[in-house]
Structure 1
Amino acid sequence: MPADPASQSSDSETNANDTRVYKVRKSRLISLVNWYHVVSTFFPWILIGLVALLVVQFSFSMYQNRGQVEELIVYTVTGKPEVWFLGWQGTFLTLTLVYLFARRERQVYLLDFCTWEPPADWKVSHAQLIEIMRRQACFTEESLNLMGRVLAKSGTGQATAWPPSILESMKTGKPQNQSVENARAESERVICDCIRDVLDKTKTQPKDVDILIINCSLFSPTPSLCALAAHNFGMRKDILSYNLSGMGCSASVLAVDLAKNLLRSRPNSIALVVSTENLTQNLYRGNERMMLIQNTLFRCGGAAMILSNRFTDSLRAKYKLLHAQRLQGTDDESYESVFECEDSEGNHGVRLSKKVPDVAGRAMEQNLTALGPHVLPLSEMIKVGRVWGLRFLTRRLRVWLEKNQMTKLAKYVPVVAPYVPDFKRGIDHFCIHAGGRKVVDDVAANLKLSEDQTQPSRDTLYNYGNTSSSSIWYELSFIRHHMKQKRGQRVLQISFGSGFKCNTAVWLCLKDGEGMRKK
């Protein structure tokens, strides 16, 4: 049935008066089209069309001048064969150079980085921290004594940072307020301070940032921390933002690796990477021994880095990323070694397994085995290959003798010890994750590092505590300001995280450190 004209007119009047209906003049519709997106989307098809047109035109010209083309081919082949072969060689060489240039990966530069310096009113001593734990009114005397003993052996100093919501217990005598507002306030303070400092240091405007990556393992609010940073600094609406959580203390290298891959696919871009952790909502309130350790390990901290793939930025960059190596354990021990869960009474926390040192040792061995060819000199690689060959032959010989019932002879086959390459021949400075004094000691023993080479990690642990993923940047800051770091030297960052992960990054120093300028 045809519609009633009266009803049509009433509907049109309703639509005209309805403020929810979005209207625009037809003359302005064309300005709403994203022409850059349209052109970039259809450009490959336009390019194919142009190439096809060029092929047709070339073929038609060849057909029209086929007589001259035949004469040219006969003359070139019969009269001047060396010119013919020279042309093919030149064409092949040109195509090879073009292919290699196209396959060349873009270099990633670290313009600069900043670490967060906690204010004085965030810092507490060991005794104050134990008093704070006592005022939570949930720990037994045995648990308080255990945390006191762990703190005494932790290698941390007497002025490390905790968030204000936890320190408030010192004033009020009441348990901590673990609200989302307090947790967001902690993250906002650390993240925004780091970003503001690194943007000022590199003279970068917020709208110049193309990629934003923030890693925070234990706090993942809605809106995300990336949204918090983009909102506070007024970044671009088309920024590529990535919020990483649950990656543990190794997340900073993961974030750098993600930024590297994104930068290599997006020319002339800048990436901002922020690494931090949040303690407000992650104080364990139970009394299980293996879950109490987290209350003594972690501290507030953060770091922000500006990465770029622009060639012009290489002139002012502090470092160039040479290689990032990741390793993810997949066995049961690796997965359960650092595990977020609840205890038997329903208290939320992170359980640390007794097998963490063994799991970390295996993960580091596998990671450095894969990293070795990228950083070790040829002489060290030859030693590794020779020992590997001897171990393979002696193992095979021993198995063959035992299989042929010659066990007495098999006992005389020597057991060749594995060769641990000297990474000090390919690396000048080491940033070992400051996860605790035992972590630093074990890595130093495995790599045979001197006291000076582990000083950045020990100093960071003492002055800042275990700041999770950002600890390796506090160590790099120590190297730049207090050690004689020269241009051309290499820095190795080693980090460990839940899962279990061991991630490493190798940086090439492009500018002398501030320590070189001190007399």
Structure 2
Amino acid sequence: MAPTGEQHLLSTEILNRGVETSGPDAGSMAFSVRVRRRLPDFLQSVKLKYVKLGYHYLINHGIYLAAVPVVVLVFGAEVGRFIREELWQKLWDTTAAYDLLAVLTFVVVFIFTLSLYFFSSPRSIYLIDFACFKPDDDLKVTKEEFIELARKSGKFDEASLEFQKKILESSGIGDETYVPKAIMSTENISTMKEGREEASMMMFGALDELFEKTGIQPNDVGVLVVNCSVFNPTPSLSAMIINHYKMRGNILSFNLGGMGCSAGIIAVDLANDMLQANMNSVAVVVSTEMVAYNWYPGRDRSMLIPNCFFRMGCSALLLSNRRRDYRRAKYKLEHIVRTHKGANDASFRSVYQEEDDQRFKGLKIRKDLVEIGGDAIKTNITTLGPLVLPFSEQLLFFSTLIKRYLSGTTKDKGGVTNPRNSSPASSSKPYIPDYKLAFEHFCIHAASKTVVNELQRNLGLSDANMEASRATLHRFGNTSSSSIWYELAYLEAKGRVKRGDRVWQLTFGSGFKCNSAVWKSVRHVEKPSTNNPWLDCIDRYPSEALSQSSQVHPVNFN
């Protein structure tokens, strides 16, 4: 979602309380803001069609692989039969010609089947390395400085400043996040010039680091994918990169706009498709968002929330389908599962860019965003489950799901689960699979403290599993589609990624969309000594602030 837009599953409702009858504000309109602090228990109702969809993915990806053991077994049995009949003695008999022809025929079929599998199966896609942009320290602000700078800009009244202050206090964001200097200017900052300057600083900073780390020359890049939700100039951001680095003229370039915080995985999926179609190629994926260009200077409180959460950030990663890159790659792409709820009108308008009554542009967050986001996440992880969960977990999940289905558990019109009978089985909850058995590391989009806490509760994850998400939110804020790469950089800075480890990246954003990417480490990732955004502060995490962030307290802002 756009930096201003994914204000993430933090549902805000503005209530008109009428006219104040007393106090210093007597005679003026009074409003209260109610912030919903919990995601729904989205694993309490699972639709079988999404489980079925997950197995559809599995069958599509494994059909050729499943044929290989069958061919091997048949071939082994045939060879065994010939050995038992003393094949070598029969080669000189009158029937030897027939037996030899049968063997040669089977060998040809076996080789053909293997060739069909290797040429038809998807190419392995490797993540050679990635880089996360770290702004200069002069762009760093504390929460108090943020409010003071907003006050000095003259764009907000006291009520709006107080509202933003209360949001920041419960946001999970620390005092070292980065914002462009332009956002506190008294002038209009939503200009193309300001947007291009911020984009150049972040994209070129991340790409310079990526090219330095990998040794790849810009002219060697065959595919370029850039995603930025709200800021989409002409020429495009991808064209800016091609012009700056003087890339080759036949590069396949793509620019994704308006796709929200989940666009990072969408960009990886597009690069994956391009690499499947183009042999011996490398692809660069850049994920970012422009904070200044998306800044909202008005008074609509549902549009002010993005100002509080989004901060500067950009990631750049290098993907390759070349077999020789396996030795130096860090990760191999295992799965990508995408879920889009845009066909539903409520989902489509849950985060909506529009103008307020003062004609200020901003992202409107609807009050039902919590339920919409929970449904999209539930659908995505239900589809992903059959691809990644051990058989034991799938068996337990299905047994309790079928038991609950046969017991006749239904939902009334209000969405409350009611059994048709009073037996304990009818009200039992479905078994929640243990995703810790499928993954060693979790990079869940650092949208807000509320979202991180509620996903932890729903998925049954530990504080250690959510540490990277909480640390990223605290240190860098919500950096939109690039946040999952700051989280993976955190895990690498801690030296926790070992050979064979599986990493789950989960993102969600406007549309409404939820996407998952699964990576497998192909080697032990050493602690970085340079070119990592966490090097100057990694020893301070996990901190006491993260422990406090794991506690959820419902809040009403009046």
TM-score, structure 1 normalization: 0.79
Query: Is 1:160 aligned with 2:201?
Result: no
Which residue of structure 2 lines up, in the alignment, with residue 138 of structure 1? Answer: 155
Confirm or deny: 8 A CA contact 1:394 1:413 kept in the other structure.
no
| Whole-Å separation in 2 of the counterparts to 1:218 and 1:409 | 48
| Whole-Å separation in 2 of the counterparts to 1:331 and 1:199 | 42
| Whole-Å separation in 2 of the counterparts to 1:387 and 1:487 | 34
What letter is aligned with 1:134?
A: R
Confirm or deny: 8 A CA contact 1:251 1:469 kept in the other structure.
yes
Q: CA deviation at 1:115?
A: 0.3
| Whole-Å separation in 2 of the counterparts to 1:411 and 1:450 | 34
Local SS of the residue matching 2:210: helix
For 1:484, which of 496, 500, 518 is the aligned residue? 496
Please list, as runs of the form range in 1=range in 2, the aligned pairs for 1:265-280 lying within 5 A after superposition. Answer: 265-280=277-292
Local SS of the residue matching 2:447: coil
Cα gap change, 1:193/1:134 in structure 2, threshold over 3 Å: closer, same or farther? same
Query: Is 1:188 aligned with 2:205?
Result: no
Q: Tell me how many residue pairs correspond in the alignment.
A: 431
Cα gap change, 1:365/1:409 in structure 2, threshold over 3 Å: closer, same or farther? closer
Confirm or deny: 8 A CA contact 2:500 2:522 kept in the other structure.
yes
For 1:497, which of 509, 526, 529 is the aligned residue? 509
| Whole-Å separation in 1 of the counterparts to 2:291 and 2:182 | 9
| Whole-Å separation in 1 of the counterparts to 2:402 and 2:142 | 54
Higher RCO (C-alpha under 8 Å, 6+ residues apart): 2
Please list, as runs of the form range in 1=range in 2, the aligned pairs for 1:16-95 lying within 5 A after superposition. Answer: 80-95=97-112
Which residue of structure 1 lines up, in the alignment, with residue 27 of structure 2? Answer: none
Confirm or deny: 8 A CA contact 1:163 1:280 kept in the other structure.
yes
What letter is aligned with 1:494?
A: L
For 1:414, which of 403, 425, 449 is the aligned residue? 425
Q: CA deviation at 1:80?
A: 4.7
Confirm or deny: 8 A CA contact 1:337 1:356 kept in the other structure.
yes
What letter is aligned with 1:237?
A: G
Q: CA deviation at 1:333?
A: 2.2
Local SS of the residue matching 2:491: helix
Confirm or deny: 8 A CA contact 2:403 2:425 kept in the other structure.
no
Query: Is 1:375 aligned with 2:375?
Result: no
Cα gap change, 1:413/1:178 in structure 2, threshold over 3 Å: closer, same or farther? closer
For 2:167, which of 150, 153, 158 is the aligned residue? 150
| Whole-Å separation in 2 of the counterparts to 1:178 and 1:417 | 49
Q: CA deviation at 1:232?
A: 0.7
Q: Deviations over 1:219-264 (max 9, x none)?
A: 0001111111111111101111000110100111110111111101
Give me the CA root mean square deviation: 2.4
Confirm or deny: 8 A CA contact 1:297 1:465 kept in the other structure.
yes
What letter is aligned with 1:107?
A: S
Q: Deviations over 1:71-108 (max 9, x none)?
A: xxxxx998854344334433332322221122121000
Confirm or deny: 8 A CA contact 1:485 1:516 kept in the other structure.
no
Cα gap change, 1:97/1:511 in structure 2, threshold over 3 Å: closer, same or farther? closer
Query: Is 1:442 aligned with 2:459?
Result: no
Query: Is 1:242 aligned with 2:254?
Result: yes
For 2:271, which of 259, 268, 285 is the aligned residue? 259
Q: CA deviation at 1:131?
A: 2.1
Which residue of structure 2 lines up, in the alignment, with residue 67 of structure 1? Answer: none
| Whole-Å separation in 2 of the counterparts to 1:484 and 1:435 | 23
For 1:345, which of 335, 339, 358 is the aligned residue? 358
Which residue of structure 2 lines up, in the alignment, with residue 334 of structure 1? Answer: 347
TM-score, structure 2 normalization: 0.74
| Whole-Å separation in 1 of the counterparts to 2:420 and 2:229 | 55
Local SS of the residue matching 1:349: strand
Q: CA deviation at 1:163?
A: 1.3
Confirm or deny: 8 A CA contact 2:404 2:425 kept in the other structure.
no
Please list, as runs of the form range in 1=range in 2, the aligned pairs for 1:394-409 lying within 5 A after superposition. Answer: 394-395=407-408
Which residue of structure 1 lines up, in the alignment, with residue 377 of structure 2? Answer: 364
Cα gap change, 1:258/1:409 in structure 2, threshold over 3 Å: closer, same or farther? closer
Please list, as runs of the form range in 1=range in 2, the aligned pairs for 1:112-127 lying within 5 A after superposition. Answer: 112-127=129-144
Confirm or deny: 8 A CA contact 2:195 2:293 kept in the other structure.
yes
What letter is aligned with 2:363?
A: V
| Whole-Å separation in 2 of the counterparts to 1:99 and 1:282 | 50
What letter is aligned with 1:178?
A: S
| Whole-Å separation in 2 of the counterparts to 1:321 and 1:94 | 27
What letter is aligned with 2:353?
A: E
Cα gap change, 1:175/1:516 in structure 2, threshold over 3 Å: closer, same or farther? closer
Q: Deviations over 1:283-318 (max 9, x none)?
A: 112211111101111001101000000010010001
Q: CA deviation at 1:515?
A: 4.2
Local SS of the residue matching 1:249: helix
Q: Deviations over 1:312-364 (max 9, x none)?
A: 00100011111111100131221111111111222110011222222221111
Query: Is 1:110 aligned with 2:132?
Result: no
Q: Deviations over 1:480-503 (max 9, x none)?
A: 111422111111011111001111
Cα gap change, 1:83/1:455 in structure 2, threshold over 3 Å: closer, same or farther? same
Confirm or deny: 8 A CA contact 1:481 1:513 kept in the other structure.
no
Q: Deviations over 1:136-172 (max 9, x none)?
A: 33322111100000011111111211113224x3xxx
Identity %: 40
Which residue of structure 1 lines up, in the alignment, with residue 435 of structure 2? Answer: 423
For 1:456, which of 433, 444, 468 is the aligned residue? 468
Q: Deviations over 1:32-70 (max 9, x none)?
A: xxxxxxxxxxxxxxxxxxxxxxxxxxxxxxxxxxxxxxx
- Gaps of at least 5 residues in structure 1 are 1-75, 400-407
Confirm or deny: 8 A CA contact 1:165 1:178 kept in the other structure.
no
What letter is aligned with 1:279?
A: V
Q: CA deviation at 1:410?
A: 4.3
What letter is aligned with 2:344?
A: D
| Whole-Å separation in 2 of the counterparts to 1:310 and 1:377 | 30
